[in-house]
Amino acid sequence: MSHRLLSLKTLAAAALASLRVGVAWATPLSGNTNALTGAPITFGGFTEGTLIGHQFTGVTFGQFPLGGLPQIDNAPFLFGFTSNSGVAVLTGSTAGGEPFPTVAGLTATFASAQSSVEFFLSDTGPLGTYLVEAFGAGNALLESLVVAGSDLIDGQFVGFLRSSADILMVRVDSNVSNDAFAIDDVRFGGAQEVPEPTVLLLVGLGLTGAAILGNLRKP
């Protein structure tokens, strides 16, 4: 009998342990096609040199580390964008359209926390690697992604997909201060669908109950 009780306690402990669901998992996004759905921000319709800050609902664009605002460049071929990306891209360039502009990093700050962020990043003549970072409350670094410059000659979709809505800002910068790059097709969304804790608890209790009944029926 004591052996049976020990087995039941072991089963119950295992079931309860299975309910400990982590909330910090994340998936870096990097590929030739977009991983997120929905209509992207394409920066179309703006004239050359337009400063971009608060023009789009839910997100504010900025420069890093200099402050100020990034601007529209209507010569996207300079950054490896094709006609499929339209006629406008967003760059930290201080002189839009110049072949070798002085650039700054770009930031996107969200009005509310997001669980998914993605954008197309490109550079025709990469001089180094790129660091893409996601930040949460208190400017805490949530995760980062290093992208080789050689992977950006034709551009690449990059970003993050997290299990909960905690991204308040993303930042991209090159390790070479004078390396021009641009972004386009920005997508961001709300929290991903995950099982409710109460549902997980019921499932766990059900499994525990089934295991107990099965054990009691044994001779």
pLDDT at 53 over 50: yes
- Domains of the chain with bracketed CATH: 23-204 (2.60.120.260)
pLDDT band for 136, please (50, 70, 90 cuts).
very high
What span, in angstroms and rounded, lies between the C-alpha atoms of 106 and 71? 10
Question: pLDDT at position 150, please?
Answer: 76
Question: For the chain, what percent of residues have pLDDT higher than 90?
Answer: 28
Q: Residue range 183-195: average pLDDT? A: 69
Q: Residue range 177-197: average pLDDT? A: 68
CB count in 10 Å sphere of residue 186: 21
- The DSSP symbol for 94 reads S
What span, in angstroms and rounded, lies between the C-alpha atoms of 78 and 98? 9
Residue pLDDT, tens place only, 59-70 = 999 988 777 888
Q: Which pTM was predicted?
A: 0.71
Question: pLDDT at position 112, please?
Answer: 96
Is residue 20 exposed (0-12), middle (13-18) or buried (19+ Cβ within 10 Å)? Answer: exposed
pLDDT at 50 over 50: yes
Question: pLDDT at position 192, please?
Answer: 40
Residue pLDDT, tens place only, 58-100 = 999 998 877 788 888 887 666 666 655 567 888 876 544 444 4
Q: Residue range 131-147: average pLDDT? A: 94
SS3 52: coil
DSSP E strands, the chain:
26-31, 59-64, 71-73, 89-91, 105-114, 116-122, 130-135, 141-147, 156-162, 167-174, 182-189
Question: pLDDT at position 132, please?
Answer: 93
Question: pLDDT at position 20, please?
Answer: 39
Q: How far is CA 202 from the centre of its chain?
A: 32
Q: Residue range 193-200: average pLDDT? A: 42
Question: pLDDT at position 203, please?
Answer: 42
pLDDT band for 177, please (50, 70, 90 cuts).
low
DSSP run (H or E) holding 8: helix 2-17
